[in-house]
C-alpha cells in the first residue's frame, strides 16, 4: 500500500509563502537553470498560465496520456514511448504532470505483469526525476519499494532500468532509508556480483548478452555508491558480505565497474569497522595496481580510497613498502594532471597519509619531493592546498626536509597562505609552522614575517577547532622563544582574547588555552599581564569540569600562575581546593600528578593546608604519588606531605598554625619546570 499522497501543488504553494519572506531571486538565474527550484518559482509566478505559449511537447504529452489507461499493454507501451522524450523542463509540463497524477499512474504500471510496460515506465520515471519536487513525490508514494521489487526479476534489462531509476531518485536521506527498509542493498550487491570467468574476460570480446550483464552490474554499483552515503546503509553493505566480492571486482579489466567499486569503498571507509575489514582482506595492494591505469577517474578513485583507508601505522608502513610513495610522486610530478583538481586532491591526500609514517618521510626525502610540493601551493585550489600543506607539515619533522623547505622559500609560502578563510587549511598551516619552529633558522623567518600575530588572530575565529588548533600551535612555537613577553606586549588585546576564549563552553578550546597559559607563565612579565586580566578568576571557574584532559592542563595552569604575588590567596578565596582534592582522587595518573603540583602550591597557605590534612584519602594518594616515575611529581608529593604533617590545624588557634620556615620555600624557588607538561606538536 502506498504512503500518504502528497500532491505537488500544496508543496509549491508552501514554498511560495517561504519565498515571500526571503530575498527575491535574480531573474536571470531562474531562467538559465534547469533545476526544479527554478521551475517551481516560474510556476508560482504564473498560477493560471493565461496567454502562455504552449510548446509542442505539451500537445504530444496530452495526446499520449489519453491512452495510458486504455487497458491494453501494447497501446500503453506505445503511449509511454511517445511521451518519453518530451521536454519536462517547462513549467506547464510540470503543472500537467501534477494535475493528472502522472507519477501515481506510472508507479501503478510498475506493478503490472507486462515487462515492456514496466521497463518503459522506469525510463519515464528516470526522465522526470530530474525535477526535485517529482523525486520527492516518487519517494513519498512508495516508488522506491516498487523499484526494489523489480530487482528480483530475472530480466537483465528490467533490473538495470530499476537500478538506474533508483540512482536518479535517491538523492536525499528518506530515499536512502527507503532502499534499506525495502531490502534493496543485498539485492544490489547480488546484482553487482558476476561470475569469475566473466569478470576476467576482455571487454572487447564480450557478446551483447554478456555485455548487458556487465552494464547491469555497473548500474547496481552506481546505485550502491549513491545510497551508501547514509551511515546505516554502509553498515548494511558490510553485513551483506560485499567486501569479498569487491576484492575480486578490483582485479577485473572492466574500468567502469572498478571505478564504482572504489568509490563505494571510499564512501564506506568513513566507518572504522569497514576500514578494519578492508585492511584484513588485503585490498590495499589492489589500490596500488590501479595507480598505473590510463583512466584518470579510476586512478583518482584508487587514490581517494587509499587516502580514506590509510589509518593505523601498519597500513601506512604497507604503503611505503608497496611503492605507493613513488607512484604518487610520479603522478603529482606529471604536469598534465595539474589541471585535474579532483585527481590532485586525491593523490595529495594519499601522499599526506603516507607521510605520517617516518619510513615514508625518508622515501619522500630521497625523492626530493619537497620543492615540487611547495611549487604546487601557488597553483592549486584550497582542497589541494590543504593536503599539500598537511603533507609538508608531516615532513617538516625531518631536519633535512626542513632545511630543503627553508632554502626553497617554503616557510614564506606557508606564511603567505595564513590569510585564507578555509578552516582545515588554517589548521594545517598552523601545525606546519609550529613544527618548523623547532629549527632556529625557521623560527627567525617566522619572527621576521610576524607570523605569530597572524596565528594569534585565529583565536578570534568562529570555528572552535580553529581556535583550539591555534592555541596548541602557539604554545609549541612560544616554548622555543626565550623572550616571548615582547610579542605579548606588542599584541594589542591579545591577552584579552585569551580570557574571552576561557569563557566558552567548548572543552577543546579551554584545554588548549590552559596549555598556552602554562607556556606564557614561564616569564614574569606575561604572568603579570595575565593576572591583571583576571586569569585567576577565569581558571577558578573551570574547576568543576569532568574532562580528564582539561583537568590536567587546568591544574598545570593553576600551578604556573600561583607563584606570582598573591595569586595563591586569590585561588583559595574562590575555593578551588576542594575540586583539586577531588581531582587528586582521579583514576588517571596524569591528572593525579597535575593535581599534586597544584595542591603543592596551595599548601603554602596554612589554613588550607590544614583542610587538606583533615580530608580523608589525601595522604594515601600522596604516598602513592611519591612512588611516581616522574621526579617532579615525587618532589611535589613529598614536600606537600611534609607541609601537611607539620601544619596540622590547631583548634585553639583560629588563625591556624603558620608554616614551618624550612618547608615554606620562597616564591622564586617554587616555580616548577613545566617543559615536560607542554602539549606535543601533533595536537
C-alpha distance from residue 416 to each of 419, 581, 678 (Å): 7, 47, 28
Please, are residues 458 and 430 in contact by the beta-carbon 8 Å criterion? yes
What cell was used for 63? Answer: 495526446
DSSP string covering 149-217, please? HHTTSS-HHHHHHHHHHHHHH--SHHHHHHHHHTTHHHHHHHHH---HHHHTS-GGG--HHHHHHHHHH
645 belongs to a structural domain: yes
Any alpha helices (H) in 438-588, and if so which ranges?
440-448, 451-457, 464-478, 485-490, 494-501, 507-520, 524-532, 535-540, 548-561, 567-573, 577-584
193 belongs to a structural domain: yes
pLDDT over 90 at 68, yes or no: no
Nearest to 500 by CA among 554, 538, 552: 538
Determine the average pLDDT of the residues in 65-92: 78
What cell was used for 70? Answer: 486504455
Please, are residues 399 and 391 in contact by the beta-carbon 8 Å criterion? no
Owner of C-alpha cell 595536537: 683
pLDDT over 70 at 151, yes or no: yes
**Segments forming the whole domain that contains residue 600:** 596-650
pLDDT over 80 at 89, yes or no: no
Nearest to 393 by CA among 375, 367, 373: 373
**Burial (Cβ within 10 Å: 0-12, 13-18, ≥19) of residue 619:** middle
Average pLDDT, the chain: 81
What's the pTM? 0.79
Domain closes at, from 191, 220, 249: 220
According to the 3-state scheme, what is the secondary structure of 652-670? CCCCCCCCCHHHCCCCCCC
C-alpha distance from residue 617 to each of 455, 599, 600, 623, 639 (Å): 44, 14, 16, 10, 17
170 belongs to a structural domain: yes
Please, are residues 100 and 68 in contact by the beta-carbon 8 Å criterion? no
What cell was used for 629? Answer: 616515575
76 belongs to a structural domain: yes
Residue 553 CA neighbour count, 13 Å, CB half:
23
Domain closes at, from 220, 235, 270: 220
89 belongs to a structural domain: yes
Q: How many domains does the chain have?
A: 2
What cell was used for 443? Answer: 623560527
Determine the average pLDDT of the residues in 521-525: 90
Of 41 and 10, which is predicted with more confidence?
A: 41
172 belongs to a structural domain: yes
pLDDT over 70 at 274, yes or no: yes
Quote the CA–CA distance of 473 and 438 in Å, as a whole number: 12
Tell me the per-residue pLDDT of 458-504, one tens digit each, with 9 for 90 and over. 999 999 999 999 999 999 999 988 888 888 888 878 899 999 999 99
Q: Give the CATH number, domain containing residue 196.
A: 1.25.10.10
pLDDT over 50 at 680, yes or no: no
- List the single range of 112-116, 154-158, 232-236, 649-653 with lowest mean pLDDT: 649-653
Q: What is the pLDDT of residue 6?
A: 40
Cα 51 to the chain's mean position, in Å?
52
Task: Count other Cβ atoms within 10 Å, centred on residue 72.
Answer: 10
137 belongs to a structural domain: yes
Nearest to 61 by CA among 96, 110, 89: 96
Amino acid at each position: 500500500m502506498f504512503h500518504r499522497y502528497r500532491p505537488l501543488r500544496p508543496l509549491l504553494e508552501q514554498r511560495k509563502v517561504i519565498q515571500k519572506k526571503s530575498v527575491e531571486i535574480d531573474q536571470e538565474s531562474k531562467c538559465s537553470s534547469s533545476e526544479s527550484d527554478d521551475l517551481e518559482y516560474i510556476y508560482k509566478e504564473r498560477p493560471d498560465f493565461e496567454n502562455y505559449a504552449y510548446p509542442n511537447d505539451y500537445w504530444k504529452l496530452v495526446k499520449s496520456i489519453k491512452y495510458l489507461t486504455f487497458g491494453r499493454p501494447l497501446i500503453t507501451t506505445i503511449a509511454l514511448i511517445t511521451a518519453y522524450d518530451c521536454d519536462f523542463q517547462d513549467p506547464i509540463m510540470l503543472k500537467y504532470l501534477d494535475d493528472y497524477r502522472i507519477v501515481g499512474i506510472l508507479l501503478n504500471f510498475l506493478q503490472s505483469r507486462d515487462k515492456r510496460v514496466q521497463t518503459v515506465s522506469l525510463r519515464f520515471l528516470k526522465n522526470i526525476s530530474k525535477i526535485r519536487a517529482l523525486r520527492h513525490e516518487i519517494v513519498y508514494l512508495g516508488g522506491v519499494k516498487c523499484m526494489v521489487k523489480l530487482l528480483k526479476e530475472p530480466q537483465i534489462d528490467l533490473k538495470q532500468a530499476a537500478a538506474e531509476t533508483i540512482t536518479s531518485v535517491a538523492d536525499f536521506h528518506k530515499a536512502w532509508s527507503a532502499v534499506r527498509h525495502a531490502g534493496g542493498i543485498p539485492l544490489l550487491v547480488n546484482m553487482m556480483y558476476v561470475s569469475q570467468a566473466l569478470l576476467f574476460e576482455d571487454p572487447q570480446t564480450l557478446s551483447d548478452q554478456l555485455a548487458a550483464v556487465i552494464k547491469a552490474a555497473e548500474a547496481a554499483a552506481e546505485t550502491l555508491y549513491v545510497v551508501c552515503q547514509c551511515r546505516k546503509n554502509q553498515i548494511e553493505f558490510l553485513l551483506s558480505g560485499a567486501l569479498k566480492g569487491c576484492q575480486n571486482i578490483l582485479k577485473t579489466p572492466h574500468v567502469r565497474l572498478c571505478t564504482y567499486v572504489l568509490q563505494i569503498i571510499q564512501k564506506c571507509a568513513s566507518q572504522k569497522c569497514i576500514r578494519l575489514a578492508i585492511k584484513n582482506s588485503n585490498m590495499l595492494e589492489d589500490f596500488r595496481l590501479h595507480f598505473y591505469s590510463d583512466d584518470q577517474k579510476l586512478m583518482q578513485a584508487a587514490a581517494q580510497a587509499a587516502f580514506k583507508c590509510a589509518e593505523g601505522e601498519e597500513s601506512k608502513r604497507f604503503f611505503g613498502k608497496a611503492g605507493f610513495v613513488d607512484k604518487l610522486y610520479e603522478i603529482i610530478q606529471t604536469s598534465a594532471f595539474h589541471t585535474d583538481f579532483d585527481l590532485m586532491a586525491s593523490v595529495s591526500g594519499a601522499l599526506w597519509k603516507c607521510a605520517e609514517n617516518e619510513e615514508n618521510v625518508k622515501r619522500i626525502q630521497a625523492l626530493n619531493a619537497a620543492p615540487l610540493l611547495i611549487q604546487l601551493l601557488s597553483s592549486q585550489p584550497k582542497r589541494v592546498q590543504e593536503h599539500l600543506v598537511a603533507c609538508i607539515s608531516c615532513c617538516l619533522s625531518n631536519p633535512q626536509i626542513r632545511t630543503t623547505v627553508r632554502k626553497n622559500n617554503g616557510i614564506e609560502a606557508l606564511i603567505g597562505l595564513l590569510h585564507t578563510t578555509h578552516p582545515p587549511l588554517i589548521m594545517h598551516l598552523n601545525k606546519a609552522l609550529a613544527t618548523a619552529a623547532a629549527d632556529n633558522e625557521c623560527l627567525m623567518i617566522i619572527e621576521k614575517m610576524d607570523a605569530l600575530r597572524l596565528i594569534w588572530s585565529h583565536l578570534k575565529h568562529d570555528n572552535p577547532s580553529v581556535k583550539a588548533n591555534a592555541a596548541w600551535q602557539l604554545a609549541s612555537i612560544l616554548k622555543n622563544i626565550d623572550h616571548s613577553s615582547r610579542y605579548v606586549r606588542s599584541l594589542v588585546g591579545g591577552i584579552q582574547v585569551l580570557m574571552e576564549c576561557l569563557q566558552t563552553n567548548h572543552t577543546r578550546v579551554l584545554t588548549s588555552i590552559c596549555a598556552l597559559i602554562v607556556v606564557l607563565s614561564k616569564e614574569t612579565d606575561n604572568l603579570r599581564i595575565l593576572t591583571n586580566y583576571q586569569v585567576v578568576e577565569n581558571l577558578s571557574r573551570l574547576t568543576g569540569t569532568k574532562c580528564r584532559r582539561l583537568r590536567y592542563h587546568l591544574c598545570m595552569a593553576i600551578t604556573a600562575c600561583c607563584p606570582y604575588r598573591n595569586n595563591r590567596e586569590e585561588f583559595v578565596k574562590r575555593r578551588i581546593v576542594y575540586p583539586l582534592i577531588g581531582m587528586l582522587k582521579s583514576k588517571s595518573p596524569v591528572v593525579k600528578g597535575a593535581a599534586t603540583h597544584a595542591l603543592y602550591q596551595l599548601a603554602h597557605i596554612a589554613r588550607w593546608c590544614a583542610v587538606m590534612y583533615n580530608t580523608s584519602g589525601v595522604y594515601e594518594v600522596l604516598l602513592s604519588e611519591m612512588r611516581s616515575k616522574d621526579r617532579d611529581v615525587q618532589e611535589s608529593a613529598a614536600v606537600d606531605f611534609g607541609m601537611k604533617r607539620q601544619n596540622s590545624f590547631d583548634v585553639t588557634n583560629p588563625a591556624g598554625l603558620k608554616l614551618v620556615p624550612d618547608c615554606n620555600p620562597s616564591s622564586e624557588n617554587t616555580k616548577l619546570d613545566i617543559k615536560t607538561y607542554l602539549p606535543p606538536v601533533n595536537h
